[in-house]
Amino acid sequence: MLAVPAQELTGELPDPPDFAAQSEPIFVSISDIMEYRALPEYHEPDWVTSKYVEAGTLPPVAERLPKEPLVYKAANMPDGLGVYGDTMRHVIGGRPEGWNYIGGQSQGWGGIDIGMSECLTRTGPLFTIKADELEPMPNLARSWEWSEDGKELTMHLIEGAKWSDGDPFDSEDVMFFWNDNVLDPNVSPLNGATPESFGAGTTLEAIDAYTIKWTFQQAFPTQYLYTMAYGTFCPGPSHILKPAHPNYSDNTYDQYKNAFPPEYMNIPVMGAWVPVEYRPDDIIVLRRNPYYWKVDEAGHQLPYLDEMHYRLSTWADRDVQAVAGSGDFSNLEQAESYVEALRRSADDNAPARLQFGARTIGYALQMNFSANGWGQPDDRAQAVRELNRNLDFRKAVTIALDRQRLGESLVRGPFTAIYPGGLYAGTAYYDKASTVYYPYNLDAAKTLLDGLGLVDTDGNGVRNFPAGTAGGRDVEITVLANSDYGTDTNLAEGVIAQMEQLGIRVIANFQQGTARDNMSTSGQFDWQVVRQTAEMVSIVQNTAALAPTGPRVHSFHRANSDGALDLLPFEEELVTLVNKFVSTSDNAERAEIMKDYQRIFTENIYSVGLTQYPGALIINKRFANIPAGAPIFMFNWAEDNIIRERVFVPADAQGNHELHPQTLPGAPGGAGPV
């Protein structure tokens, strides 16, 4: 019997403090931004022509481009056509595992992989698309059509485009990605593409070199066009990767994943820049891709920027350097540094501009819901998972958290808002009336735990499991968090301190990014504090991950090694809703579905919301063509949103930052630039 009636635990959710975004996007149609078209003539930096083309080591630019390149229209460029030269100096807190993105390796984040990868469709820039025309932009897939019954989708790939080493890009690259990486259960591509990400039973086949055909179980699942964008459908260079894959070699899966370590230079890409230099804990340098397949309206091959730097430092240093002008770019997202960053960039002579957007950064405490053996828990961890699956337990944890205090411990002022969990207040599908909020109430939390038989039997201040469960020992729960980010560990420490009041001992398991990601995706955690991904912000990006719609798509509830999930009844409802959402494109119906989703999610405290706040884009003032109102995070991160291949530095503002001026990437696996 519950000692506290449920309705008394819920309460009025305070509205988030007003915080106006500092700039608004200009809303346009996709066709205002780009088209595919052959132009009468093409251009490239003079030094590429004189040093490479005229020397006979590189074909003329017109021969390197596809038949009809992707053309960015000048009228949509905030500062018009650009000029070549200069560098964007990024600073990142991650470290590269290697270059095998589709084999599951991280390149260190912060925009490296975003700049190297091109995907079938593109969604980052959609923040600037008119709401009633919202759909993914064509990219590697230049057009597509649906069969009459809506179950088949035929896509046309750009024709005649090449990888950065000159090898043709075609459907073989797409099919290698799909067959040997997504469908192969031994491979886990970075960013989590699985077969179910595209709908259970979906198949893909190549019709010819430039045509592919999807077959779906449902009619018109246009939603999957979003899944075909970053980071879930970005093929790798099959001519390089395939020979290392176990299906085509004697390699093990581990050897495949690790076959292209960070020292391997000039890995072929379809993106605008190719890695040419790597110095551990120092820097990664990328140079322009001479085969890049996008141009401006005057026929200048993109990118305008010749070089990209990624200083291997910390994420907090990214903010500091961007504000100081020794770095060029930051997604200001760690609330602890907001006050200082704002103060310094308010100066008229500040080298960088700083612009806040909507509240799209949010943190949640996620509990491991798999009681099925995922991650091989011992008896203590198994007992914790049983608790995690108990609604009274989740209620107790939620109401024992003082969210106001948690937010203010990061930064004071109007930034942070109480986050009850589920969809963010600033997103299109949010409905306050469908959001169930459980306010802070420590006494009621204690009563709930007493009711669950979790009492301190040995008088040491920590509650014990009931006799017969996990040896009746202290209730100890580990919390996994990413130590690359102060915000992640600060929030986790806040949770630890507040749980102590409740008599639960939470133990920090703070791991560096890659190790954290590996523990998380292999189910080795009791709880985790996470900065949430695009599904909670955009709903239409990463939608399959809104519920355990497949064995490996959800972040805190996955199948065991037999592929079996153990969904709770309310999770089944969420899965049904998410599948319904995917199978309709009727906006009114979608809004209703998401109201139900939000109510069931928050009523059941599927994850424990912590805080949500806005982020700010910091970019050095010398860069041009930065679109107004670019959010640091929405469908994707700002590194994609601002269309970096179109960004340039006016000639009179160019700095002397290039480390390898007038060079191009060398041969794959060879030494650096040539």
Residues that bind ligand GLA (CB under 6 A): 109-111, 114, 315, 331, 333, 637, 639
CB of 640 to ligand GLA, least distance (A): 8
324: which 2 tokens?
């100081």
Q: How far apart (Å, rounded) are the C-alpha atoms in residues 247 and 576?
A: 36
Could you identify the residue written with the tokens 């993105």? 101
Q: How far apart (Å, rounded) are the C-alpha atoms in residues 220 and 217?
A: 9
Could you identify the residue written with the tokens 């949500």? 612
CB of 256 to ligand GLA, least distance (A): 23
Nearer to ligand GLA, 371 or 534 (CB): 534
Does residue 194 sit in helix, strand or coil?
Answer: coil
Nearer to ligand GLA, 631 or 673 (CB): 631
Nearer to ligand GLA, 374 or 633 (CB): 633
CB of 28 to ligand GLA, least distance (A): 24
Nearer to ligand GLA, 331 or 498 (CB): 331
Nearer to ligand GLA, 315 or 415 (CB): 315
29: which 2 tokens?
């149609």
Q: Report the amino acid identity of residue 568.
A: L
The length of the chain in residues reads 674
CB of 94 to ligand GLA, least distance (A): 7
Whole-angstrom CA distances from 566 to 390, 548, 549, 554 are 14, 10, 12, 13
CB of 227 to ligand GLA, least distance (A): 17
Radius of gyration of the chain (CA): 25
Peptide bond into 231 cis (omega under 30): yes
CB of 486 to ligand GLA, least distance (A): 12
Q: How far apart (Å, rounded) are the C-alpha atoms in residues 315 and 397?
A: 30
CB of 111 to ligand GLA, least distance (A): 5
CB of 314 to ligand GLA, least distance (A): 11
Q: By the 8 A CB rule, do 614 and 608 touch?
A: no
Nearer to ligand GLA, 93 or 375 (CB): 93
Could you identify the residue written with the tokens 């399959």? 544
Could you tell me the sign of the dihedral formed by the alpha carbons of 457, 458, 463, 464, in that order?
negative
CB of 639 to ligand GLA, least distance (A): 6
Q: How far apart (Å, rounded) are the C-alpha atoms in residues 354 and 388?
A: 41
Comparing CA positions, the residue from 227, 240, 487, 525 lying closest to residue 363 is 487
Q: By the 8 A CB rule, do 487 and 531 touch?
A: yes
Q: How far apart (Å, rounded) are the C-alpha atoms in residues 199 and 223?
A: 10
Q: By the 8 A CB rule, do 537 and 429 touch?
A: no
462 backbone dihedrals φ, ψ, rounded to 5°: -115, 135
| DSSP element (H, E) containing 403 | helix 403-410
CB of 632 to ligand GLA, least distance (A): 6
Nearer to ligand GLA, 96 or 375 (CB): 96
Q: By the 8 A CB rule, do 425 and 614 touch?
A: no
Nearer to ligand GLA, 328 or 333 (CB): 333
Nearer to ligand GLA, 531 or 660 (CB): 531
Nearer to ligand GLA, 100 or 301 (CB): 100
